[in-house]
Amino acid sequence: MSRSPLRVAIIGYGLAGRVFHAPLVAAEPDMRVTAIVTADPERRAAAEADHPGARVVDSADRLWESPGDLDLVVVGTPNRFHVPLARAAIAAGIAVVVDKPFTPTAASGRALVEEAEAAGVMLTVFQNRRWDGDFLTVRRLVREGAVGRVVRFESRFDRWRPEVADRWRERAGVEEAGGVLADLGSHLIDQALVLFGPPVSVHAEIDVRRPGAVVDDDMLVSLVHADGVRSHLGASMVAASPAPRMRLLGLGGAYEVGGLDPQEDALASGARPGDGGWGRMPPEGWGHLSDGDSRRPVETEAGDYPAFYAGVARSLRDGTPPPVDPRDSVIGLEIIEAARAAAGA
């Protein structure tokens, strides 16, 4: 017996909503984009063109008027709106996906998790880079013991953006959760947590390097995990020459990979999951495994952002755990706050 697809509303139709969430929801066979919230006329026109079957409204309040029409709300807005919108969805009894960073503070994240649990509403966080191909490859190599006992994990997101842009990510204020640590650091920290668990100590260097910048644009966070592995996590807006994306160092060898997972660029260019070669890195982008005497290429696992919404659909249908436990993201926020304290930021 066939069943109707899960009905999904996307709140926000900027980069997050248009490039990531809406296409990935539309690509999930058990989901359908039925509503999009945006007050911007150009984004409204784009939403109507991209998803002609969806209702486009200018305020999330319109969604709460008929909560029975929705199975899931996706919050893809600037960070300052994450908590009030997720709280409103929970109060309406609608499951919620919140983009990262989950909330501006760890305390607000914990409170949101508690509200969802009390209401019996599924809540999860879009930590999509758990499904980057390079990260999936590192997870596999750790599992297989390919470099022996791991001693250090290095991971970076480097950008060359020397001019300060007029974007909400560049704005000061706790509620904005701006800066590179909250933005890119939330991905880096989440990946380290997945690999090696919560840290026992946190050290950090957090700087504002660009003239006119009011939030951090250069960071290095060092985590010491319970098993002794150290994660060195960095991001910068002033890196004209990027470092390797990841290095995994062990007593039996090392793995190094550069470049970026191709899925974001593919989505931005109009490609969609299911297209030939989705998530595949060409051979020239593969990483290498070394043992000190030899060096060989290692095919990068296919990236799989669609797995996130497939997991959300299973959770809503079958009651299985969501693809990202929001408590993991709260731990990530605690680490961000510990890093700021350690750096005196």
Q: Where are the domains of the chain?
A: 6-126+307-322, 130-303
Rounded CA-CA distance 84/81 in Å is 6
Domain 130-303 coded CATH 3.30.360.10: yes
Write the CA distances from 199 to 95, 185, 232, integer angstroms: 30, 15, 12
String of DSSP letters for 168-224 = GGG--SGGGT-SHHHHTHHHHHHHHHHHH-SEEEEEEEEE--STT--S--EEEEEEE
Using CA of residue 325, residue 194, residue 244, residue 145, what is the dihedral sign? negative
What are the angstrom distances between the C-alpha of 61 and each of 53, 111, 279, 294?
20, 22, 36, 60
- Strand locations in 52-119, DSSP E? 55-57, 72-75, 95-99
> What CATH fold (topology level) applies to the domain 6-126+307-322?
Rossmann fold (3.40.50)
Residues 97 and 126 sit within 8 Å (Cβ to Cβ): yes
pTM of the model: 0.96
Q: Between β-strands 246-250 and 230-236, what pairing exists: parallel, antiparallel or unpaired?
A: unpaired
- How are strands ordered across the β-sheet holding 31-37? 55-57, 31-37, 6-11, 72-75, 95-99, 123-126
Strands 246-250 and 150-158: antiparallel
pLDDT tens for the chain, residues 1 to 345: 468 999 999 999 999 999 999 999 999 999 999 999 999 999 999 999 999 999 999 999 999 999 999 999 999 999 999 999 999 999 999 999 999 999 999 999 999 999 999 999 999 999 999 999 999 999 999 999 999 999 999 999 999 999 998 787 888 888 888 999 999 999 999 999 999 999 999 999 999 999 999 999 999 999 999 999 999 999 999 999 999 999 999 999 999 999 999 999 999 999 999 898 999 999 999 999 999 899 999 999 999 999 999 999 999 999 999 999 999 999 999 999 999 999 987
Equal fold, 6-126+307-322 vs 130-303: no
